[in-house]
Structure 1
Amino acid sequence: MRMSKPSIITSVFLSFLLVTAACSQGTGTKPVENNEQGKAGDPEPVTLKFYVNGINLSGTEFRLMVEEPTKKKYPHITVERIVPPQGTGLPELIASGEIPDIIYASVGTYYQLRDLNLDYLLDDLIAKYDFDVNRIKPHILASITDYSDNGTSLHALPFNDNDTILYYNKDIFDKFGVPYPPDEQLTWEEALELGRQLTRNDNGVQYIGLEVASGPAHLQSSLALGTLDPDTGQAVVNTPEWKEVFEFQQKVFEVPGTVQGETYLYNKDAFITDRILAMRPSYIANMVGTLEELRQAGDPINWDIAPVPNFPDALGTSKEVNIHSLYISSQSKHKDEAFQVIANILSDEVQTILSRNGRLPSIANDEIDRQFGADVPDLQGKKIDNLFKARGVQLHKPHEYESKVAKFVTEAYRSLALDGVDVNTALRTLEENINAEVARLKATSNK
């Protein structure tokens, strides 16, 4: 079975990243200097613009994990969250002249930032402030360095770890008299059998037992599968591992009641809003904050968590880690201050705040990990230990066109669900479509 392996950070890179215990004090950095500090000794006030690019960070989380810790450590720095109009993405934001200093985005956003000339290599700032990258969980660090040309440099630092767990709606299980998922990790086949018992139409309401997280990328991530060879860019989807993924997904679609007209995937709303979905594997950061906000609004869900299922040969792991990352814009006029803010977020103190408020820390510290959710009322009484029974693995090494061919995987899933296409045909067509698109992209880039 093809699984990702943590890459080795070279000694050349590590030679300038070590930090002495006397200077670090649990932060991973030496005492910082401020380039704008005047002769009077008081730093000039600086406002940093912080942009959230399409991934979850609630207003409460921004205040607790970014705004307040920054003001406490650096009173002269104000972090201001940019909230662009609905439907405005990073390209439109930049075109409007609104340049962020810090960009909060998924690790795969690197290629978009590069294409927008916004990416900025952090190595010099890491060296300048003696930031200790060895404090970061190894599989997270390796996942980020894999995006660099030399396999060792860092274009971003991780905000948090983001493992996957199985959320389940206890009320749906109770309604149909079905036992809750066990505290031991199930295989996908076992989870599907449980889900069959819950996929029912009751008084005109169609309940869905199991959704494999509303899209193909989640299931392939169970085996850390890429769509493209990272070196050649050729499709690598017509393989036994991909066939295993497609054959299982076809079984999900074949459960009576799962495909409803044009609907065959069920997203977060099916669990949170419609409350027709019994089990949803999803990232921690995708759901916990929203579930707590529902509780605060007086509309809680009766839910709990189990280890996320996986294929038999991958039991003990969940899926590829989803890294919420912090980038510094190349166009920022305050790169030093932006790095100070990011380094502070990765300090033991602030990572403890993250953990206690429902985000797994990105630093390797079991004691901080185990404080997960302590300050989130809706997590009290939940089976927190189940978070640690199947841990995330390193991302597969990416190719720059991977996000641009993902649409063909979605099309292949649709053909399984709605068109009656068999698995072998779906995979063969997927391979052909991807290779044709890569050829087109390469020809366009060479013009």
Structure 2
Amino acid sequence: MTDISRRSLLRAAGGAGLGLLAAPALAACGSSAAAPVRSGNVTVSLWTHDPGYVKTFQSAAKDTKLMRGSRFAYSVKPTAAAGSDVVTRMMAQAVADGDTPDLAGLIIDQFPRVMNARIAENLFVDLRDTVRSFGDDLLKLAPYSVDKVPYALDSDNSITVLYYRQDVFDKYKVPETVETWEELLEHGERLAKDHKTSIGMVSTGDNGAIVNGFNQFLLQRGGGFFNASGELTLDSPEALEVLEFMTQGVRSGALLALPDPYGAACAAALKTGRLAATAMPNWYNAYGLQANVPDQKGRWRMRTLPRFEGGGHVGSTLGGTGIAVLKDKPHTQAALELLKRVYLTREGQILRYNNGGFLPTLQPLYRDPEFTQIEDEYLGGQRVFDVYGKAAVDLPVFYQAAGMQILIDVLGGPILDALKGRTSPAAALKAGLKAYRQQVKR
């Protein structure tokens, strides 16, 4: 295909809202006329929202042990942008036949934007051959897969655990080994009534935060929004049970309703002791607890999540960023090798943890002494991989679909109405499902 005809096709795709990026002819076209670089000095461009990924890849490029035997001598050129802007600019550049990155950091809730109309297929390297030898040992591929084809590798396993104030639990006689959420909610109701202290939180702010909080519990319970085929599975007994659990917790005070789990109100609740426990992913340790209550060092601990009486898992997940390789570019081969070294080797995963605290996505590493001996001083010197290891072998699988963002938009309001007592959980889910089905038909 000539450059002129290719540009014409891409610009036509842009006029149709990028949907025609899926045109079959595009798959046969490279995104650059330059010959692929197969060895030597190479500068790989990385677009990301998070400086932690910049630090990780730049450190990896300079790590002689990690890069031993490579045909490439790497440098990494980062471009910082908001998470949504990375995807928007990348697709716009592809439409304009412009300068797309070699590596793109795709926040997990932005990936559904490329799941429609074969956009992911036409932009990113198919990673099936890259990951095949790892089998089930490689975690969190599902959220970045389209028709079971993976297009990105997650940077962090994002394991949700229960953080809790050990001193508060001891003082108010809440057992640290409570087995179920239902039992913990009973203790939480007592603490809320007698001491104005909650043992968890739910978001009442924007749609994304509201739905993410709900999904975190839903995945743990064994449910989900979609299945592997992209079919909606929200109309389930598990979804109703979880929303009833959340509304009951808010009503009793066991769960604290906050507009933003990362904002000023949450920080105040942590500082005053109003919030003495919360179910959040591993990264909340640094960005939520240590950032807001550094003076509470040594008082917090973590454990696997209490189970739901009805079943499910002892772990859940929330968040993540997948790194994708842009296809048919001069540096595609070099970028793919760099990604494999940093994300699919023991040494690379150790480097990622040391640079950004990113949990391994290779399951065997949860038994590796390099990780199991790690102690967290903020958590009283606790060996955190004793907890992460138990959760990693019992994590739910999170499936996404092209309609994920529509679902978030239409479900947030009804869930909020249920949490505030303006409607029942059953009516809220019914309203969200109806609105979603109406939207996806258009």
1:232-279 Cα deviation digits (max 9, x unpaired) = 85x5434322221121111012114867xxx55551345556514221
Within the candidate set 159, 165, 183, 1:190 is matched to 183
**Cα distance in 2, alignment partners of residues 100 and 300 from structure 1:** 40
- Tell me if structure 2 keeps the 8 A contact 1:307–1:389: yes
Amino acid at match of 2:401: H
- 1:121-175 per-position Cα deviation (integer Å, ceiling 9, x unaligned): 534x775xxx454336447266257x332x3x3212233322211112346546x
Report the 3-state secondary structure (helix = DSSP H, G, I; strand = E; otherwise coil) of the residue aligned with 2:415.
helix
Q: Which shows bigger deviation, 428-437 or 245-254?
A: 428-437
The reply to whether residue 338 of structure 1 matches residue 335 of structure 2 is yes
Q: How many angstroms apart in 2 are the aligned matches of 1:99 and 1:321?
A: 28
1:429 maps to which of 409, 418, 431: 431
Per the alignment, residue 102 of structure 1 pairs with 103
**Which residues of 2 match residues 292-311 of structure 1 at below 5 A?**
300=297, 302-311=299-308
Amino acid of the structure 2 residue aligned with 1:191: L
Aligned partners of 2:220 and 2:313 also within 8 Å: no
Q: Distance in 2 between matches of 1:369 and 1:108?
A: 33
Q: Per the alignment, do residues 98 and 369 of structure 1 end up closer, same or farther by CA in structure 2, a change over 3 Å counting?
A: farther
Q: CA deviation at 1:323?
A: 5.0
Paired residue type of 1:209 = I
Match in the other structure for 2:382: 382
Matches of 2:368 and 2:290, distance apart in 1: 21
Distance 1:389 1:230 in 2: 25
Asked if the contact 2:156/2:320 (under 8 Å) is kept, the reply is yes
| Cα root mean square deviation, aligned | 3.8
Whole-angstrom distance in 2 between the partners of 1:322 and 1:285: 9
- Rounded to whole Å, the distance in 2 between the matches of 1:236 and 1:155 is 23
Cα deviation 1:79-135 (Å, max 9, x = unaligned): 233223798453156548663221223455433235594654534x775xxx45433
Question: Residue 122 of structure 1 corresponds to which residue in structure 2?
Answer: 125
Alignment-derived partner of residue 37 in structure 2: 36
One-letter amino acid of the structure 1 residue matched with residue 133 of structure 2: N
The match for 1:161 is 157
Question: Structure 2: how far apart are the matches of 1:322 and 1:162?
Answer: 6
SS in 2 for 1:314: coil
Counterpart in the other structure of 2:223: 225
- Equivalent pair of 1:356/1:375 in contact (CA under 8 Å): no
CA distance in 2, matches of 1:321, 1:85: 19
Query: How far did residue 373 of structure 1 move?
Result: 7.6
Query: What is the aligned partner in structure 2 of residue 412 from structure 1?
Result: 414
Q: Name the SS for the 1:398 alignment partner.
A: coil
Q: CA deviation at 1:324?
A: 3.5
Normalized against structure 1, the TM-score is what?
0.70
2 CA distance for matches of 1:279 and 1:420? 26
Change in CA separation of 1:398 and 1:47 when aligned onto 2, cut-off 3 Å: same
My pick for the range that moved more, 327-336 or 372-381, is: 372-381
Asked if the contact 2:185/2:254 (under 8 Å) is kept, the reply is no
| Aligned residues of 1:185 and 1:389 also touching (Cα < 8 A) | no
For 2:276, give the aligned amino acid: A
1:377–1:341 Cα change, 3 Å: farther
Which amino acid in the other structure matches residue 239 of structure 1? S
Aligned mates of 2:235, 2:76 — CA distance in 1: 47
Structure 2 length as normaliser, TM-score? 0.71
> Do the aligned residues in 1 keep the contact of 2:246 with 2:255 (CA within 8 Å)?
no
Task: Check the 8 A contact 1:107/1:325 in 2, yes or no.
Answer: yes
Distance 1:238 1:111 in 2: 20
Q: Which amino acid aligns with 2:142?
A: S
Structure 1 pair 438/265, CA: closer, same or farther in 2 (3 Å)?
same
Q: Call closer, same or farther: CA 1:126–1:236 in 2, change over 3 Å.
A: closer
Question: Is residue 348 of structure 1 aligned with residue 351 of structure 2?
Answer: no
For 2:88, give the aligned amino acid: P
The gaps in structure 2 that reach 5 residues or longer are 1-34, 204-208
* Shift of residue 394, structure 1, vs aligned partner: 4.3
Cα offset for 1:361? 1.0
Residue in structure 1 matching 2:282, options 281, 284, 287: 284
Instruction: Report the alpha carbon displacement of residue 329 of structure 1 after superposing the two structures with TM.
Output: 2.6
Note if contact 2:44-2:74 (Cα within 8 Å) is conserved in structure 1: yes
Length, aligned pairs only: 379
Aligned to 1:24: none
SS of 2:46's equivalent?
strand
- Matched to 1:242, the amino acid is A
Q: How far apart in 2 are the matches of 1:223 and 1:324?
A: 23
Matched, 1:360 2:353: no
1:268 maps to what in 2?
A: 262
Q: Which secondary structure does the structure 1 equivalent of 2:199 belong to?
A: strand
CA gap of 1:133–1:66, structure 2 versus 1, over 3 A, is farther
Distance 1:351 1:212 in 2: 32
Please tell me whether the aligned partners of residues 67 and 78 of structure 1 are also in contact (alpha carbons under 8 angstroms).
yes
Q: 1:71 matched to which residue of 2? A: 62
After superposing the two structures, state which structure 1 stretch, 356-365 or 409-418, moved more.
356-365
Change (3 A) 1:339 1:165: same
Deviation at 1:189, TM superposition (A): 1.1
CA–CA distance in 2 between the matches of 1:324 and 1:372?
A: 24
SS, match of residue 227 in structure 1: coil
SS in 2 for 1:361: coil
Q: Is the 8 A contact 2:142 2:399 kept in 1?
A: yes
Q: Give the equivalent residue in structure 2 for 1:403.
A: 405
Residue 178 of structure 1 aligns with an amino acid whose one-letter code is Y
**Structure 1 residues 244, 419: closer, same or farther in 2, change over 3 A?**
closer
**Cα 1:429–1:303, aligned 2, differ >3 Å: closer, same or farther?**
same
Deviation at 1:338, TM superposition (A): 1.0
